[in-house]
Amino acid sequence: MEIRNGDYTVTDNKEMVSRDLVKRYILDSSYWGKNRTEEQIDRSIDSSLCFSLLMNIEQIGFARVISDFATIYYLADVFVLEEFRGNGLGKWLVECVLAHEKLRGLRGMLNTKDAHSLYERFGFNVAEPQSTMIRLP
């Protein structure tokens, strides 16, 4: 899958993932992945459906989906580099992920501390605990 919008592209081609960028962001800038190891991040990329947000050929965002591709998926590690925020790119990245053919009709889950309003736009609802959100097909 590859979706273009001007200079921006979202692709599920795992060869386009800049592993160094993803590792640096998760380990240095995220609140959710600071305790992971680089090896764990590599294994998580290898075992997931991954989405790269590119500006031309430079990766500026990422999202990862864990799924059985039959009943449920878990959306994880979603980010857009800080200097590219505020332009709707995070919303577009999530929109592209959720439109992926392998995720249609599946129940979705994610955890967030600070982006509830973003995910509510896509049909996710707050569940207990409040950081968990569920999206029904």
Where are the chain's structural domains? 2-101
Q: Can you tell me which residue has the tokens 């896509």? A: 122
Number of other residues whose CB lies within 10 A of the CB of residue 97: 24
**Which two three-digit tokens encode residue 115?**
């982006």
**Which two three-digit tokens encode residue 29?**
């800038």
What percent of the chain has pLDDT above 70? 91
CATH of 2-101, one of 3.40.50.300, 3.40.630.30, 3.30.2320.30, 3.30.479.30: 3.40.630.30
Task: Write the pLDDT tens digit of every residue in 26-73.
Answer: 999 999 999 999 999 999 999 999 999 999 999 999 999 999 999 999
Task: Give me the chain's average pLDDT, please.
Answer: 91
Q: Enter the pTM of the model.
A: 0.88
Rg (CA), the chain: 14
Q: Which residues contact 42 (CB under 8 A, 6 or more apart)?
A: 19, 23
**CA 82 to chain CA centroid, nearest Å:** 15
Q: How confident is the model at residue 118 (pLDDT cuts 50, 70, 90)?
A: confident
Higher pLDDT, 123 or 89: 89
pLDDT of 18 higher than 80: yes
> In this predicted structure, what is the pLDDT of residue 66?
98
